[in-house]
Amino acid sequence: MRLAEHCYRSISAIRGPLVFVERVFSARIGETVTLVAPNGQLLEGEVLKIDTEQVLIQVFGETYGLDLEKTTVTFHDSVKRAPLSRQCLGRIFNGSFKPLDDAPMYIPESWGAVSGAPINPVAREFPHEMIETGISAIDGLNSLIKGQKLPIFSCAGLPAQELVAQILSSARLPGEGDFVVVFVALGLSYHEYSFFRETLEKMPSRFVAFFNLAGEAVVERLLAPRLGLTIAEDLAFNHGMDVLAIISDMTNYCDALREISTSREELPGRRGYPGYMYSDLASLYERAGRLHGRAGSVTMLPVLTMPEDDITHPIPDLTGYVTEGQIVLSREMQQKGIFPPIDVLPCLSRLMQSGIGEGLTRADHRQVANLLYQTYAKGRELRKLEAVVGKEGLLEEDRVVLTMADEFEKRFVHQGKARRDIFQTLDLGRELLKEYKVELT
Amino acid sequence: MKGIVTSISGATVSVDLRGLQLYDRVYVGHARLSGEVVHLEKERTTVQVFEDTHGLSIGEPAVGARAPLTAVLGPGLLGGVYDGLQRPLQGLQRHSGDFIHSAGEIQSLDLQRSWDFIPHMQAGEQVNIGDQIGLVREGHLDHPIFAAFAGEIEQIAQGQVCLAEPLARLKDGQQLFGWQNWPVRRPRSQGRKCPAEKPLITGQRCIDFLFPMVKGGVAVIPGGFGTGKTVLEQTIAKFADSDVVIYVGCGERGNEMAGLLTEFGELRDANDRPLLERTIIIANTSNMPVAARESSIFTAVTMAEYYRDMGYDVLFLADSLSRWAEALREISSALEEIPGEEGYPTYLGSRLAKFIERAGVVKLASGKTGSLSMILAISPPGADFSEPVTQACLRAAGAFYMLDTGLAQSRHFPAINWTQSYSLLGSKAADYFRQQVDKRWTDLQRCCQDIMQQEDALREVVEVVGMEGLQDRDRLLMSVADRVRRDFLCQNSFSADAFSSPQQTVQLITSILDRYDHALKRLEDGVLLSDILQGESDAAG
Ligand SMILES: Nc1ncnc2c1ncn2[C@@H]1O[C@H](COP(=O)(O)OP(=O)(O)OP(=O)(O)O)[C@@H](O)[C@H]1O
Ligand SMILES: [Mg+2]
């Protein structure tokens, strides 16, 4: 421990969001610093690297006004922390935790290190209850389970933000419990920002939101999800709440990671993204979970845009390697006017089995889901065949399956702005199966 | 040996210690974070730290241990859950709570636990290094204790002992303990290597029947995300006929480890003992420190060799080796080494080959044989198998189970692609199956492969002319191939079908092939194909 804060005016270089300071006495890795620009502007930063000559600092915010001569750097002898309190509920912040809602900052009960700490695997409880998103294609066929991380893979131009807004306002627990949403938006356009502000306005105050806009500092995009998750962990594990953390858009996060890695002159990996991107994404996604003997849970729903609609691009690929399934949006569904435009074939919730069925959702859930999926998958196969041999070339029973696939998209996947609870979803599924004489056993 | 920290970049720390060797352990900072030497230069020594370095400052103390990272080996490992440095996770939890904070040293083995020791030698007898002086019962296994020194036994324990006490004392004052330290990066080369002969029965029809694995062999399972690597590894860990199973969660998910722990705690093996009792779990999840992930597979394989050297069949499963390779890459790039393909260090291939060489069958001095088999999952980026890690593994492995994204998406599990997978270990295993299970084993296998190949060719035809354009014989074949796929190759891990004994496997394929023969005959006799297929589906449904 040092006794006083140290202040320096010995910056040797500024490179993008990175600042090099010389002759610093005992800086610590991860220590926070404050920079004061000549015009009085305040910026925060964090120590990344230390050697005998200099200290490397990553600045959260725009480094425009900084210079070498007059800018001062103060070292605070503590790591970056987030202010914790239940008072955060109903509040809206920017990417460095400044209120955007005109209310004053609350007085924290305690502070939590934003980098978090890994959950000890033996302390983890296996996820086993469902969160109802109100979306049939998710709840019915790819259920989201408390403690799971389930990403949404979108394509540029698809209404992912509308889907997020719908889930934001309609997600809840099917049973008892204290449910809140932590929403972190990264690299939003102003238009999207106002859209989300409107959505939040209409919601009861069971949320905390963080907004980083497209014009704002890139480094903040790395910070904001960590602030959000630190808050989420506190609400979940210290206050016993079931927290759904929605982070959108992770593609902006990854691009920020790449940008900063490049300015650090690190060796680029696939498509220029840093080699440690898997570990970095895991340090966020793995913060979802439940703990033995404690109420509360952190469930994560990250949203990302697949560059060039390519699911093998490093961003969706590495995300898929960390998360527990995926919800995939497709252009084809969008063109058919289906909302949400979810293509259920490549979707999967890997933890679904442990969260549904008798006593959790409904006894017939598993069977309804399997039959719908199988029949629809068969219908999609037949569509390909139909394109070759024509409808006439198909057997009568196959034509029925084809119609059913169409109806499934139109009535089950498509739901517009309506919210469906899990029973409505399952009843609708049964109705479809019955109409097309697919038998439940 | 003491010095100070001179520079820090993430988990890579330089210290001014001299005279250390590569891989010696170093403790840095007031918090005594542990690490190992990865680079030596005249003026400075670079240390890769196994823990989070937040808060570390230059000028803080650094202490060199003059000894490499070791694993503690002795009775009590079975049933344990460790991190990549062999720190027991339950111990860590008691120490730092539900979240992992740097914890310093925690005993890997409980040296106070009491064991019932049965001596095999007496005072006055001459003992040589490696002689068995006695044994303790560890779960379902006899755990022999071998002498680390030679000499005349002056005194030897009997009955309740704890590992902290010596089990025997020699005349010259040396003490023989029931545990030992072993450097994890050095193979334990006891006994003589010999060729693998016995099959490793996994209970997966597709593996046992088409691409068998042998005890002492190495198989790799590459597959894109969600293709079923983890489920397959865990299912094999449950049912494989091995005495000891070592499961390494290497840079993967925390929830998966939680699931494994719960399930293995509840499930029972063939002898009605909790599955956990034959299992050691090493969990270094993706969010735990990267350097410890790199060392985790070495810590784990050292424990595996330890049990192999007692004459047991040990199965080592790692999920996923790609995460290990990525950890290696991260460390290498922090050291600013010249990168090879895709940024991996140029020594990736040799390092991997050396690791895989630790598998095999050994003939021990005691006359027993022990085996160490490896089944390694690989996660190729973008499911592209031409990448360096898959390729390096392919060169070293004897069996290759390629998981297919298409099959997984159509929910055909295990999604093992039957045209691209192979096993070079098959012939020995086939001898065994022919003698022990069914003398037609190889014929049936060939027949089955034949059908699948023909189907493959026919599919291309169908895409052009449609099903209607096929001859009846071919349509029949398509329908049989469909049955082989659905009823034989598919195996749901979450059902009673998760394990299939070789006998059950043979029965199932025989019944499918017999029915095919029968149908072919009827077709020749002029029965309509539609009637035959109708009868088939009635029989199946
Ligand atoms: N043998 C099986 N039987 C039934 N379902 C399976 C089987 N194998 C895989 N699955 C299904 O596929 C999902 C994904 O499998 P798994 O988690 O093993 O994939 P993975 O290859 O390990 O993916 P990742 O690389 O992302 O870790 C499982 O959650 C399960 O739903
Ligand atoms: Mg896996």
Beta-carbon contacts of A199 under 8 Å, excluding residues fewer than 6 positions away, are A165, A168, A169
Which ligand 1 atom minimizes the distance to the CA of B493?
A: 3
Per-residue pLDDT reduced to its tens digit, B190-200: 778 999 889 99
How many alpha carbons fall within 13 Å on the CB side of residue A165? 19
Report chain A residues whose CB lies below 8 A from the CB of B59. Answer: 26
**B512 or A395, which is more confident:** B512
How far apart (Å, rounded) are the C-alpha atoms in residues A276 and A414?
39
Reported as a pLDDT band with limits 50, 70 and 90, residue B540 is low
Rg (alpha carbons) of chain A, rounded to whole number: 24
Same domain, B365 and B346: yes
Q: So what's the architecture of A82-354 in CATH?
A: 3-Layer(aba) Sandwich (3.40)
| In chain A, where the domains are located | 6-78, 82-354, 365-435
The series of mean pLDDT values per 10 residues for chain A, 441 residues long, is 73 91 88 92 91 89 88 90 96 94 95 94 95 97 97 96 95 89 96 95 93 92 96 97 97 95 86 92 97 96 96 94 96 96 96 92 94 93 84 82 95 96 96 86 68
List the beta bridge partners of residue B376.
B220, B318
Question: Is the confidence at residue B102, as pLDDT, over 80?
Answer: no
State yes or no: cis peptide before B414, omega within 30 of 0. yes
Concatenating the DSSP letter of every residue in B272-323 gives: S-BGGGGEEEEEE-TTS-HHHHHHHHHHHHHHHHHHHTTT-EEEEEEE-HHH
Per-residue pLDDT reduced to its tens digit, B468-507: 778 889 999 999 999 999 999 999 999 999 999 999 999 9
Tokens representing B444 are 């049936």
Same domain, B328 and B369: yes
Q: Using H for helix, E for strand and C for coil, what is the string for B410-423?
A: CCCCCCECCCCCEE
Is B265:B301 a contact under the CB 8 Å cutoff?
A: no
Which helix (H) or strand (E) segment holds residue A367: the answer is helix A365-389
* Nearest ligand atom owner, CA of B234: 1
Does residue B471 sit within a domain? yes
Q: Which pLDDT does position A247 carry in this prediction?
A: 98
pTM above threshold 0.90: yes
* Nearest ligand atom owner, CA of B401: 1
Same domain, B328 and B239: yes
How many alpha carbons fall within 13 Å on the CB side of residue B51? 20
Same domain, B271 and B202: yes
For ligand 1, mutation pick of B239, B319, B413 (most atoms within 8 Å of CB)? B413
Closest to A122 (Cβ–Cβ): which among B90, B287, B382? B90
Which phi and psi angles does B457 have, rounded to 5°? -65, -45
List the beta bridge partners of residue B15.
B5, B45
Same domain, B376 and B473: no
Q: Which pLDDT does position B272 carry in this prediction?
A: 79
Same domain, B217 and B305: yes
Q: How many CB pairs under 8 A join A and B?
A: 185
Tokens representing B127 are 């003992």
Reported as a pLDDT band with limits 50, 70 and 90, residue B539 is low
Number of neighbouring beta carbons within 10 Å of residue B240: 21
* Smallest CA–CA distance from B412 into chain A, residue: A374
Work out how many domains chain B is built from and give that number.
Answer: 4
In chain A, the N- to C-terminal Cα span, in Å, equals 68
Does residue B242 sit within a domain? yes
Is the Cβ of B431 closer than 8 Å to some Cβ of chain A?
no
Residue A299, SS3? Answer: strand
Does residue B436 sit within a domain? no
- Contact (CB<8Å) A50/B381: no
* CATH for the A6-78 domain, from 2.40.10.170, 3.40.50.410, 3.30.2130.30, 3.40.1160.10: 2.40.10.170
Does residue B185 sit within a domain? no
Report chain B residues whose CB lies below 8 A from the CB of A124. Answer: 254-255, 257-258
Concatenating the DSSP letter of every residue in B81-127 gives: EE-TT--BHHHHHHHH-SB--------SS-TTSEEEEEESS-TT-EE
Asked which of A225-234, A408-417, B36-45, B411-420 is least confident by mean pLDDT, the reply is: B36-45
- Contact (CB<8Å) A29/B286: no
In degrees, rounded to 5, the angle at the alpha carbon of residue A171 between the alpha carbons of residues A166 and A174 is 150
Tokens representing A372 are 């719908």
- Contact (CB<8Å) A122/B463: no
Q: Say what angle helices A250-263 and A277-285 make with each other, to 10 degrees.
A: 140
Is A167:A302 a contact under the CB 8 Å cutoff?
A: no
State yes or no: cis peptide before B517, omega within 30 of 0. no
List the beta bridge partners of residue A303.
A152, A248
CA distances from B32 to B25, B64, B181 (A): 11, 11, 21
Ligand 1: residues within 6 Å at CB? A 320-321, 350; B 223, 225-231, 379, 413-414, 492-494
Amino acid, single-letter form, for residue A380: R
Residue A91, SS3? Answer: strand
Is the Cβ of A125 closer than 8 Å to some Cβ of chain B?
yes
A60 C-alpha vs ligand 1 centroid, how far in Å? 39
Of B356, B389, B391, the C-alpha closest to B373 is B356
Same domain, B271 and B125: no
Same domain, B260 and B357: yes
Which helix (H) or strand (E) segment holds residue B9: the answer is strand B2-9
Tokens 């003698």 correspond to B435
How far apart (Å, rounded) are the C-alpha atoms in residues B391 and B531?
49
Number of neighbouring beta carbons within 10 Å of residue B181: 14
Residue B484 domain boundaries: 441-540
Is the Cβ of B124 closer than 8 Å to some Cβ of chain A?
no
Tokens 């905390």 correspond to A208
Is A119:A210 a contact under the CB 8 Å cutoff?
A: no
How long is chain A?
Answer: 441
Beta-carbon contacts of A434 under 8 Å, excluding residues fewer than 6 positions away, are none
Amino acid, single-letter form, for residue A52: T
Report chain A residues whose CB lies below 8 A from the CB of B262. Answer: 126
For residues B64-84, give the mean pLDDT.
94
State yes or no: cis peptide before A340, omega within 30 of 0. yes
Is A428:A136 a contact under the CB 8 Å cutoff?
A: yes
ipTM here: 0.92
A323 C-alpha vs ligand 2 centroid, how far in Å? 10
Beta-carbon contacts of A277 under 8 Å, excluding residues fewer than 6 positions away, are A254, A257, A269, A314, A318
Q: Which pLDDT does position A388 carry in this prediction?
A: 80
Report chain B residues whose CB lies below 8 A from the CB of A22. Answer: none
Same domain, B369 and B504: no
Interface test with chain B among A76, A122, A439, by most B beta carbons within 10 Å: A122
Last residue of a domain, which of B156, B178, B200? Answer: B178
How far apart (Å, rounded) are the C-alpha atoms in residues B222 and B229?
7
Tokens representing B126 are 């001459």
Tokens representing B120 are 């095999």
Same domain, B33 and B93: no
Same domain, B299 and B240: yes
Number of neighbouring beta carbons within 10 Å of residue B285: 27
Same domain, B297 and B343: yes
Percent of chain B with pLDDT over 70: 98
Does residue B37 sit within a domain? yes
Whichever domain contains B462, its CATH number is: 1.10.1140.10
- Contact (CB<8Å) B226/A388: no
In chain B, the N- to C-terminal Cα span, in Å, equals 74
Q: Which pLDDT does position A62 carry in this prediction?
A: 83
